[in-house]
Amino acid sequence: MELTRREFLKLCSASAVGMGLSQMAVPKLVHALEEAAAKKPPVIWLQGANCTGCLVSLLNTAHPTIAEVLTRIVSLEYQSNVMAASGELAFSYLDTIAEKAKGEFFLLMEGAIPTKDNGIYCTIGEKDGKEVTVLDMVKQIGPKAKAIVAVGDCASFGGIPAGKPNPTDCQPISKIISGVPIINIQGCPPHPDWLLGTIVHVLLFGIPELDKLGRPKLFFGETVHQNCPNYSYFSEGKFAKKFGDPGCLINLGCKGPMANSDCPLRKWNSGVNWCIGAGSICIGCCSEDFPDGKAPFYAALPKDQWPKADTEIV
């Protein structure tokens, strides 16, 4: 009735295009990765106060494809949107795998963690007839992880559910768990390359170099503004007055100077476009203070906060 693993892998290779993250498309590295992933490190993906946008963004990965991620890079042991099991069968497996793979599994956290009223605003399953909060589950299995990857703004810094007035007192996972390495992959949602590139880096070379906020410098080292194709408009002082006009979009609310990501170079959805490429502003979702620090999104950045033309890049 069911395919063997070997048959399934064959099927995946047939249906998928070649493998290789844009950061590391060298065959030798791919080989090294397959060696490193031969044991397929177990991954537990938990969701708290989330919207599932981070998972959907990951599904959009171009190279490797998501099928290859699941079959060749990691063993996705628990992920409630895609796993076959339901209910008790699924939820008890979470305990089993966290114990069995203690110190070896990676915890990928999507969503913030409500802490108000002991976290009752988010329960993720039932055990012994009682609802279990994501707060309790994170405290229980977080310390057993080899490393934690906070996927997206909510898990990294609080994000949307922690926006004023933060009705459920949502916190990032770094405020709940200590003693385990935590990598913050910001973005609302993150680009799939940022998440997979980080996982591949961990498997091949260990934890990538992080900035003060726990973000990999590889992806978040420069501002959107620094690499923006409208940068020359900004330098020349040519500013769009309405959407659809050519020019720098800073007066329409663009937060590119206050956001850290490589979006202008990497682009999204297999590289077809990105926010500013669609004539839109950058709303600054790649920053630790999104959304409140970037709102109102469509209000011009005050001139005293503008970067200096041509002298800002260092």
Partner 1 sequence: MATKKITIDPVTRVEGHLKITVEVNDGKVTDAYSSGTLWRGIEVILKGRDPRDAGQITQRICGVCPMAHGTASILCLDDAFKVEVPDNGRIIRNLMLGANHLQSHILHFYHLAALDYVTGPAIPPFVPRYQGDFRLPPRVNDAYVAHYLQALEMRKKAHEMLAIWGGRMPPQTAMVVGGVTCVPTVDKIAAFLWRLREIRAFVNDVYIPDVLGVADAYADYKKIGAGYGNLLAYGGFPLDSQNKTKLFKAGRFTKDRVLDFDVNSVTEDVKYSRYKSANTGKKPSEGMTEPDAEKEGSYSWLKAPRYEGQPYEVGPLARMWVNGDYRQGISVIDRHAARALEAKKIADAMEEWVLQLKPGQPACAESKLPDSAEGAGLTEGARGALGHWIKIVNKKIDNYQAVVPTTWNCSPRDDKDVRGPVEEALCGTRIVDTDNPLEVVRIVRSFDPCIACAVHLIEPSGEMKKFRVI
State which of positions 111-130 bind partner 1 (CB under 8 A).
114, 117, 120-126, 129
Active-site residue, 285 included: yes
Residue 140 as a binder of partner 1 (CB under 8 A): the answer is: no
Instruction: Give whichever of 205 and 298 is closer to partner 1, judged by the CB atom.
Output: 298
Asked if omega into 307 is within 30° of 0 (cis), the reply is no
Binding to partner 1 by residue 180, rule CB under 8 A? Answer: no
According to DSSP, residue 176 is labeled T
- The DSSP annotation for 187-213 comes to SSS--HHHHHHHHHHHHHHSSPPB-TT
Task: Indicate the residue among 90 and 203 with the shorter CB distance to partner 1.
Answer: 90
Give me the half-sphere count of Cα atoms (radius 13 Å) on the Cβ side of residue 158.
18
Residue 160 within binding range of partner 1, rule CB under 8 A: yes
Give the number of other Cβ atoms within 10 Å of residue 278's Cβ: 10
Residues 89-108 that bind partner 1 (CB under 8 A): 89-91, 93
51 is catalytic: yes
Q: Give Cα separations from 137 to 141, 176, 289 (angstroms).
A: 6, 11, 26
Q: Which of 63, 191, 201, 248 is catalytic?
A: 248
The CA angle 116-144-189, to the nearest 5 degrees, is 60
Nearer to partner 1, 16 or 204 (CB): 16
For residue 283, state whether it binds partner 1 (rule: CB under 8 A): yes
Q: 24, 32, 51, 203: which one contacts partner 1 (CB under 8 A)? A: 51
Residue 221: name the closest of 192, 263, 186, 260 by CA.
260
Q: Peptide bond before 27: cis, by omega within 30 degrees of 0?
A: no
Q: Cβ distance 239 to 251 under 8 Å?
A: yes
Residue 163 contacts partner 1 per CB under 8 A = yes
Question: Which residue(s) pair with 260 in the sheet?
Answer: 223
Q: According to CB under 8 A, which one of 180, 218, 295, 300 is a site residue for partner 1?
A: 295
* Residue whose C-alpha is closest to residue 153's, from 133, 169, 170: 170
For position 300 contacting partner 1 by CB under 8 A, the verdict is: no
Angle between helices 134-141 and 87-100 (to 10 degrees): 30
Residues in the chain: 314
Separation between Cα atoms, residue 159 and residue 292, nearest integer Å: 9
> Does 197 help bind partner 1 (rule: CB under 8 A)?
no
Strand, coil or helix: what is 93? helix
Among candidate residues 31, 188, 191, 286, the one labeled active-site is: 188
Instruction: By CB under 8 A, name the one of 103, 179, 237, 296 that touches partner 1.
Output: 296
Least gap, CB of 158 to partner 1 (angstroms): 11
263 is catalytic: yes
Minimum CB separation of residue 155 from partner 1 in Å reads 13
225 catalytic residue (yes or no): yes
Does 209 bind partner 1 (CB under 8 A)? Our answer is no
Q: Does 170 bind partner 1 (CB under 8 A)?
A: yes
DSSP class of residue 72?
A: I
* Near partner 1 in 11-40, by CB under 8 A: 11-12, 15-16
Binding span for partner 1 by CB under 8 A among 99-107, 138-146, 204-212, 288-296 = 288-296
Please list every residue from 234 through 263 that binds partner 1, using CB under 8 A: 242-244
Catalytic residue, chosen from 122, 170, 191, 263, is: 263
- Which residues 263-282 are close enough to bind partner 1 by CB under 8 A? 268-270, 272-281
152 with 112: CB under 8 angstroms? no
Which residues are known to be catalytic? 51, 54, 154, 188, 225, 228, 248, 254, 263, 275, 282, 285
